[in-house]
Amino acid sequence: MGTYDLVVKGGSVVTPSDVFEADIGVRAGRIAAIGADLRGERVLDAQGLLVLPGGVDSHCHIEQLQEGGGADEESWTTGSTSALAGGTTSVITFSTQFKGGDILAPLAEYRRRAAKAMVDYGFHQIITDASDEVIFRQVPEVVAAGVRSLKVFLTYDPLHLDDRQFLRVLAAARRTGALVTVHCENYEAIRWRTAALLADGRTAPKYHAWSRPPMIEREAAHRAIALAEMVDQPIQIFHVSCPEVAEEIARAQARGLKVWGETCPQYFVLTAADMDRPGFEGAKFMCSPAPRDAAASEGLWELVRRGTLDIVSSDHSGWSYDTPVGKKVNGADANFRDIPNGVPGLAARLPLLFSEGVTKGRIDLPTFARLTAYNPARLFGLHPRKGTIAPGADADLVLWDAKKQVTLSNALMQHVIDYTPYEGMEVTGWPVATVRRGEIVMQDGKVQAEPGSGTFLARAPYEMIRPTGRLPDGFDASSFLV
């Protein structure tokens, strides 16, 4: 057996299916052994701690380019620091297309920027303009380069696709072997309701939730599923905010469709009432879909336990509050339509889910490992390298103190954003060390990793997202370049 580079000693190892006491031996960045009495050049004491798979955050926005120039405030350096502080070792972020633009040059720019990453990373390719050039020529190139998921928005100016464009993306994904992830909200319904709210002088942040009630998310999810079923293309519905949307997914799954659902911590712990805080404060909690109410949150837990929603990602999308470039970019009294959407949550994801889920008895430890690491790794083609604790996998681990009580604060998030929507929340359970490919990159909150030490995760074809082969009338419309 010999000596390992690193041994994580005496912890309770949490895998997607089990919890057991063992040492973990690491060699050349990978898990080489799981057993008893392992010896290492370096030993990390995990007595009394859980050893979890390093978090895989399959939906977060880091250094995303903005249409008018510039990029998100959260850079690869600060975003990686925040991720590692919170126990996340791999992320999938986005490469954007702007309407009328191509996707090759932006992807090259995203890859250039991500060269500073300290976490391992991949990209989803956002399609906002399903032109012939992009759909027929560039998508195959991007997918072949390892960007094996496409993201579409069914709402948002200027990102949204109409149904025909969405169908063209689904067909392109089917031809090239990619997954399609979908932001589901009804574009026209939001525009219409927003116009009415503004006409009535209802401009405060809380009206963000009124502009996009649950049924418009449910409608878009239903439509996305129906169109994906017609094309026979696997999809994942992003950031499900309430049970009625998850029920659409459950019905699709019961019919044997390859439809998956993701939710995020904000939908468990924030509600629409948070957007009704005094003055402009409500802007801090604005994201889309909007947080709902306590009953919706409790309902989501049930859908998680049933396995309908099998991934919890952060949808980290940080906009600072007290600066002219973030939430107040259009003024400190901007109407809700003109306030950027999104909440930061890279570092808070695991502690919130652990505390609300495991500590409060809503889910067990293996379920936590599946929601935060194993399932995202599988769905996005990173398994078996990422998302689990098994011989041969990358040694991405989090040592976790299940009893530690922490009051969340912005400083603990270690992101660039000047606030956290979770300020003052009490959690029980906290990451005390993060190991990324065998390197100890965080200990007691101190992140130490070399910029550029993260690696690009090119994703090869994989079985899970292969179409079912069931087509209406047996006719494969996606084989025609229309």
Q: Which residue stretch of 26-34, 252-260, 315-323, 453-461 sits at the interface with Zn ion (rule: CB under 5 A)?
A: 315-323
Q: Is 337 in the site for ligand DUC (CB under 6 A)?
A: no
Choose the stretch contacting Zn ion; rule: CB under 5 A; options: 80-88, 219-227, 235-243, 290-298: 235-243
Report the residue number, 89 or 317, with the smaller CB distance to ligand DUC: 317
Among 63, 248, 310, 315, binds Zn ion (CB under 5 A): 315
Query: Residue 424 Cβ, how far from ligand DUC at the closest point, in Å?
Result: 22
**Per-position x/- string for 26-65, each x denoting binding to ligand DUC as judged by CB under 6 A, each - no binding:** -----------------------------------x----
Q: Which does 398 bind (CB under 5 to 8 A by kind): Zn ion, ligand DUC, none?
A: none
| Residue 183 contacts Zn ion per CB under 5 A | yes
Choices 165-173, 314-322, 358-366, 445-453 (CB under 5 A): range interacting with Zn ion = 314-322
Report what 341 binds from ligand DUC, Zn ion, none; CB cut-off 5-8 Å by kind: ligand DUC
Q: Which residue, 343 or 377, is less far from ligand DUC as judged by CB?
A: 343
Counting residues that bind ligand DUC (by CB under 6 A) gives 8
Q: What is the 3-state secondary structure (H, E, C) of 321-388?
A: CCCCCCCCCCCCCCCHHHCCCCECCCCCHHHHHHHHHHHCCCCCHHHHHHHHHHHHHHHCCCCCCCCC
Decide: is 183 part of the binding site for ligand DUC (CB under 6 A): yes
Is residue 229 within 8 A of residue 252, CB to CB? The reply is: yes
Minimum CB separation of residue 315 from ligand DUC in Å reads: 6
Candidates 63, 55, 64; CA nearest to 119 is 55
Q: Least separation, in Å, of the C-beta of 176 and Zn ion?
A: 22
Give the contact letters, 276-295, x = binds to ligand DUC (CB under 6 A), - = no. -----------xx-------
| In the complex, minimum distance from the CB of residue 316 to ligand DUC, in angstroms, rounded to a whole number | 9
Among 341, 410, 428, 455, binds ligand DUC (CB under 6 A): 341
Q: Which is nearer to ligand DUC, 32 or 275 (CB)?
A: 275
| Closer residue to ligand DUC, CB minimum distance, 317 or 372 | 317
- Residue span 194-233 as binding mask against Zn ion, x where in contact by CB under 5 A, dash where not: ----------------------------------------
| Sequence letter at residue 100 | G
- Positions touching Zn ion (CB under 5 A) are 183, 238, 315
Residues engaged in binding ligand DUC (CB under 6 A): 61, 183, 287-288, 315, 317, 341-342
